[in-house]
Structure 1
Amino acid sequence: MSTSCSISEIAATVPAKRERRKDARPGELLAAALELFVEKGFAATRAEEVAKRAGVSKGTLFLYFSSKEELFKAVVRENISGKFDAWNAEFDTFEGSSAELLRYSIHAWWERIGNTKAAGITKLMMSEAGNFPELAAFYQHEVIQPGNDLLRRVLQRGVDRGEFRPMDLQYGVYTVLAPMLFLATWKHSLGLCSGTDNIIDPEQYIAVQVETLLNGLNRRADAALTPQGLSTP
């Protein structure tokens, strides 16, 4: 009797385990796709490779994602664009100075994106955007524009509070972003084969970047006027 009960209980757990496995598959496919897209690029990655790395069939992959393009979009949303609501909420509740907010934002970007596999998506898009204009438009809409808007809010906050000098905010955003993009692309290109003499310490790089930016952004008593040749919003 006890043996029968034990067998029955074991049998009952099989569907539950299968259900849990089924629920985990999208996440496993996204993780495998991210790894392969970063390793090989979008064009060179085949759907069957993603399925194999995730431990499923190619047919199973297409049950969840209708095409490789839709799989890529899901990877971007899972790792980057789906997080903007939370990041904007952080901005809304931040109570420190604008200098502290900018410093926090850049360090947080490194911890959450730059120092993860997701940073490789930046290099991928810079390399392949011209060959996949539809994906480039998607990335512009879901990553670049929201990222620029959030960073613009950080700079605008500083200007509005009199902490940062007046500036052309569009180009101010690019000035902050450019060193971050360099670090992300370097990490997934030359950084993979640089000798010990050319290694960049990301934390030190970011610390120098932030202090350099703030020395240019912070408003000084003798800099009340807008520098000649620069427009303000």
Structure 2
Amino acid sequence: MALSKLIGGRVEETQAKRERRKEARPGELLDAALDLFVEKGFAATKSEEVAARAGVSKGTLFLYFPSKEELFKAVVRENISGRFQEWNQEFERFEGSSADMVRYCMKVWWERVGMTRASGITKLIISEARNFPDIAAFYQQEVIRPGQDLLRRILQRGVDRGELHVPDIEYAAYLITASMVFLIMGKHSLGACVPTDHPLDAERYLSCHMETMLRGLCTRPEDNDKGAGRNRK
């Protein structure tokens, strides 16, 4: 009886480990895929390479993601587009001035995306979008449009509260996006052209860009931090 219990316990333990391993596989596959997509690009990354790096068979990979395109989409959702619900909720709860909200938006983007491996996804899209129109359309729908919508909401909030003067909200949103793209390209491509004795400081750049832009948008630039535009008669 004791032996049978011991054997049964070991079987259950083995099954439990297998279940935990099975649950971990999608995350491990997405992590491996992100690394390879950023390192090699979409076209050059092979499904079997992703499987090998995650320590599983190619067949196991296809159980979770039936094609490389679906794998890429899952990587984008896991690292970028899946976060827009969270970011929009933060927008709803934000209590500071609209200028502070713009600053916070850029700070959060840099900390959660820009300075992480996920920033390489944008560089990949810029490089390969014309060769893979379906991937480009997906990225536009899941990342670019929600991102621009959120930035427009932030700027519209500033206009409605009398804190910002924005002649063209749609294109002002592009001004913010441009700084993100510049840093990503600097990190993954253009950085190789920057003198080693004068490296680009991302946080310093973002701060300079935001302050320069905000002083052009605020109704009273000298009172930007105070949000004094709300009190003008």
SS of the aligned residue for 1:96 comes to: coil
**Cα 1:193–1:19 shift into 2, 3 Å:** farther
Q: Deviations over 1:82-106 (max 9, x none)?
A: 1101110110111110011000000
CA 1:162–1:49 in 2, change beyond 3 Å: closer, same or farther? Answer: same
Q: 1:142 and 2:142 equivalent? A: yes
Moved more, 8-17 or 45-54: 8-17
Alpha-carbon distance in structure 2 between the residues aligned to 1:208 and 1:110: 14
> For 1:187 and 1:74, how far apart are their aligned partners in 2?
23
Within 5 Å, which residues of 2 pair with 1:80-159?
A: 80-159=80-159
- Give 1:56-67 correspondences, 5 Å limit: 56-67=56-67
Equivalents in 1 of 2:75, 2:213: separation in Å? 32
Stretches of structure 1 that go unaligned for 5 or more consecutive residues are: 223-233
**What is the identity, as a one-letter code, of the residue corresponding to 1:14?**
T
CA contact (8 A) 1:119 1:185 kept: no
Provide the TM-score with structure 1 as the length reference: 0.91
Matched to 2:159, the amino acid is V
The alignment's C-alpha RMSD in Å is: 1.7
How far did residue 170 of structure 1 move?
Answer: 1.0
Q: Which runs of 4+ in 1 moved over 6 A?
A: none
TM-score normalised by L of structure 2: 0.91
Percent identical pairs in the alignment equals 64
The number of equivalent residue pairs is 222
Q: Equivalents in 2 of 1:14, 1:90: separation in Å?
A: 42
In 2, distance between residues paired with 1:145 and 1:123?
17
Q: Note if contact 2:69-2:135 (Cα within 8 Å) is conserved in structure 1.
A: yes
Equivalent residue, structure 1, for 2:25: 25
Of stretches 54-63 and 187-196 in structure 1, the one that deviates more from structure 2 is 187-196
Deviations 1:72-127 (A, max 9, x none): 00000111111101110110111110011000000000000001111000000000
